[in-house]
């Protein structure tokens, strides 16, 4: 059933000259936009209502965008697009590594940003590559993933927070168990646009995921490195109706 309510965006930027006209433009494109001038204000708005995507400036006074991006990656499955300056290449790489889904470089065309937003939302909604029944979950090594609610439960029954990028990476492995997935394929699944420019981003995402699901992430047994090939999920995966 096609939704009729607008997609909720949170735009976080300390520059009113950019934030306010951009929010107005995105509103005209059919989005429901809330604005925050700081990371602290953004945290407050997120507590009130979780957005469906966050547009996040990196350079802000006080808590910067990378810190907020890390917080979102660790506590919510909210897709994030970074708004960066041309000279912040290192910050862009760090942002992708800690869970950002994409970035745009200032100054940018608003139409390009809208295209990026829709692309990230499509990837986020698509999740895995195999169709799932509405109440079907993944079970592997005592773990359980509900792909619709994006809930990862450990063998002890504890909810484990997982970022949007980690969620898509885990789904890629669960949809292709015991198959070697090279970095290019994983980057396409997880990051999409121009991800090949940041080859080590997938290695960092794998490391983050290992820290969450492996008994010992230094000697991983589930997500194995295949030298010269990529990575493989060495686990039995079942899809069950719940």
Q: In whole angstroms, give the CA distance from residue 31 to residue 20.
A: 14
Bridge partners of 149?
none
Give the tens place of pLDDT for each residue, 3-61: 578 999 999 999 999 999 999 999 999 999 999 999 999 999 999 999 999 999 998 99
Q: How far is CA 74 from the centre of its chain?
A: 10
CA distances in angstroms from 196 to 28, 160, 193, listed in the order given: 33, 29, 8
Bridge partners of 83?
57, 104
Provide φ and ψ at 127, rounded to 5°.
60, -115
Q: In whole angstroms, give the CA distance from residue 65 to residue 83.
A: 9
Residue 142 pLDDT: 94
Residue 235 pLDDT: 93
Provide φ and ψ at 179, rounded to 5°.
-115, 140
Q: Could you tell me the maximum CA-CA distance found in the chain, to the nearest angstrom?
A: 53
Residue 193 pLDDT: 46
Q: In whole angstroms, give the CA distance from residue 189 to residue 165.
A: 9
Q: What is the mean pLDDT of the chain?
A: 84
Higher pLDDT, 178 or 76: 178
DSSP conformation letters of the chain: ----SPPEEEEE-S-HHHHHHHHHHHHHTT-EEEEESSHHHHHHHHHHS--SEEEEES--SSS-HHHHHHHHHHH----EEEEE-TT-HHHHHHHHHHT--EEEESS--HHHHHHHHHHHHHHHHH-SSS---TTEEEEETTEEEETTTTEEE-TTS-EE---HHHHHHHHHHHHSTT--B-HHHHHHHHT-TTGGGGHHHHHHHHHHHHHHH-SSTTS-SSEEEETTTEEEE-S-EEEEE-
The answer to whether 66 and 83 have CB atoms below 8 angstroms apart is: no
The answer to whether 57 and 65 have CB atoms below 8 angstroms apart is: yes
Q: In whole angstroms, give the CA distance from residue 34 to residue 44.
A: 12
Higher pLDDT, 68 or 89: 68
pTM over 0.85? The answer is: no
pLDDT tops 80 at residue 119: yes
């Amino acid at each position: 059933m096609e939704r009729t309510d607008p997609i909720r965006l949170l735009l976080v930027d300390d520059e009113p000259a950019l934030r306010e006209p951009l929010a107005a433009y995105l509103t005209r494109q059919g989005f429901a936009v809330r604005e925050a001038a700081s990371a602290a204000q953004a945290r407050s708005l997120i507590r009130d209502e979780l957005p469906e995507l966050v547009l996040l400036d990196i350079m802000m006074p006080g808590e910067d965008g990378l810190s907020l991006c890390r917080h979102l990656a660790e506590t919510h499955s909210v897709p994030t697009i970074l708004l960066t300056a041309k000279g912040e290449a290192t910050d862009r790489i760090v942002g992708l590594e800690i869970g950002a889904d994409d970035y745009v470089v200032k100054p940018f065309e608003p139409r390009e940003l809208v295209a990026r937003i829709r692309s990230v939302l499509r990837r986020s909604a698509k999740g895995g590559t195999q169709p799932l029944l509405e109440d079907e979950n993944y079970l592997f090594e005592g773990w359980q993933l509900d792909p619709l609610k994006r809930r990862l439960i450990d063998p002890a029954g504890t909810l484990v927070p997982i970022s949007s990028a980690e969620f898509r990476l885990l789904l890629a492995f669960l949809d292709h168990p015991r198959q070697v997935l090279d970095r290019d394929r994983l980057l396409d699944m997880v990051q999409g646009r121009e991800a090949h420019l940041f080859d080590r981003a997938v290695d960092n995402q794998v490391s983050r995921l290992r820290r969450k699901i492996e008994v010992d992430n230094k000697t991983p047994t589930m997500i194995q490195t295949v030298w010269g090939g990529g990575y493989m999920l060495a686990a039995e995966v079942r899809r069950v109706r719940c």
